[in-house]
Amino acid sequence: MEHITESDVQQANKDYVGEVGISPDSFARVVAFAISQPEDVDINEVIFRPTAQEL
């Protein structure tokens, strides 16, 4: 988030991600699931989406 130059916008973005972002553990479990599939199973796409979203 260092590419955001306005400090208030940067902080708001960090706060939002902290509230609804997907944890590293959850991300790792999905990756582990995908790579542990048998050779005859092809996972083309995984979409990560938090279940908690603010409007």
Question: pLDDT of the chain along its 55 residues, tens only?
Answer: 567 888 888 888 778 777 777 888 989 999 999 999 999 999 999 988 877 665 5
- pLDDT reported for residue 12: 85
In a domain, 10, yes or no: no
How many domains does the structure of the chain reveal?
1
Question: In this structure, how many other beta carbons lie within 10 angstroms of the beta carbon of residue 21?
Answer: 14
Range of the domain at 36: 23-50
Please tell me the predicted confidence (pLDDT) of residue 11: 83
Specify the pLDDT at position 55: 52
- Entry pTM: 0.57
> Residue 30's CB: how many other CB atoms inside 10 A?
14
